Amino acid sequence: MRNILLISIFSLAFFTACDDADSFDVREDALVNYITDINGEWSLFSIERNGTDLSGVFNASAMTLTIADGAFSLNSSALPFPTLKTTSTQFDTGSWSFDDDYKPTSIQFTNGSEIVPVNLSFPLYGSNNNSLGLEFSLGCGATTYTYHFKK
- 114-123 mean pLDDT: 90
Q: Is the pLDDT of residue 142 over 80?
A: yes
Domain ranges of the chain: 40-150
Least confident of 7-11, 41-45, 105-109, 118-122: 7-11
The domain at 40-150 falls in which architecture? Beta Barrel (2.40)
pTM: 0.73
3-state helix/strand/coil string of the chain: CHHHHHHHHHHHHHHHHHHHHHHCCCCHHHHCCCCCCCCEEEEEEEEEECCEECCCCCCHHHCEEEEECCEEEECCCCCCCHHHHCCCCCCCEEEEEECCCCCCCEEEEECCCCEEEEEECCCCCCCCCCEEEEEECCCCCCCCEEEEEEC
Q: Is the pLDDT of residue 14 over 70?
A: no
Which one is predicted more confidently, 147 or 13?
147
